[in-house]
């Protein structure tokens, strides 16, 4: 069973900690309680810790720069338990309308893994730190400044 944990805003991890990454191929419109509704991306992340494995579901609402992180009740799972939780996580997000793709993290080139760690929203401490979000904020700020200068000319 997966439940939202408000303490999490992101899942920064090292390349070695990641054992699996599933990403959504589509962006269905979702309403997550306490968050604005909008198109969402889903990520299922399997992480290896010092005492076991954990599965996380990360839903990213790009338009609002918000996220919801779902965690399993079992954090220090054995590998066999982890595989069961991964299957449960896939079924959970697919029930919301996501079509998921296994990125085959372990077979990726190290450079590709590093690039994903620096670009995917799931790996940032806060969804507002995602480069695409920061770029949109800057564009809005520039547009507002331009409009302000235009109106001040009258």
Q: What are phi and psi of 132, to 5 degrees?
A: -65, -35
Residue 135 has pLDDT above 50, yes or no: no
More confident: 63 or 152: 63
Q: How confident is the model at residue 129 (pLDDT cuts 50, 70, 90)?
A: confident
CA 67 to chain centre: 7
Task: Measure the CA–CA gap between 43 and 63, rounded to whole angstroms.
Answer: 17
Q: What single string gives the DSSP state of each residue in 117-131?
A: HHHSGGGSSSGGGSH
Which residue shows structure tokens 């790996």?
123
Asked whether 35 and 68 are in contact (CB, 8 A), the reply is: yes
- Given a contact cutoff of 8 angstroms between Cβ atoms, the answer to whether 20 and 27 are in contact is no
For 36-68, how does the pLDDT look when each residue is reduced to its tens digit (9 = 90+)? 899 999 999 999 988 899 999 999 998 888 999
Distance CA 126, CA 109 (A): 26
Mean of the pLDDT values across residues 119-143? 67
Q: What is the pLDDT of residues 65-105, one digit of tens each?
A: 899 999 987 778 999 999 999 999 999 999 999 999 999 99
Nearest to 14 by CA among 140, 143, 117, 144: 117
């Amino acid at each position: 069973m997966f439940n939202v944990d408000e303490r999490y805003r992101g899942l920064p991890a090292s390349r070695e900690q990641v054992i699996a990454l599933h990403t959504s191929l589509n962006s269905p419109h979702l309403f997550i309680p306490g968050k604005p509704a909008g198109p969402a991306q889903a990520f299922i992340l399997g992480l290896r810790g010092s005492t076991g494995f954990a599965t996380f579901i990360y839903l990213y609402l790009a338009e609002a720069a918000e996220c919801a992180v779902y965690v399993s009740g079992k954090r220090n799972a054995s590998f066999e338990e982890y595989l069961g939780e991964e299957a449960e996580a896939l079924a959970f997000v697919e029930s919301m309308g996501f079509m998921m793709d296994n990125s085959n993290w372990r077979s990726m080139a190290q450079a590709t893994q590093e690039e994903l760690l620096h670009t995917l929203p799931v790996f940032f401490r806060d969804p507002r730190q995602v480069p695409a979000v920061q770029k949109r904020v800057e564009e809005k700020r520039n547009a507002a400044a331009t409009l302000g200068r235009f109106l001040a000319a009258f």
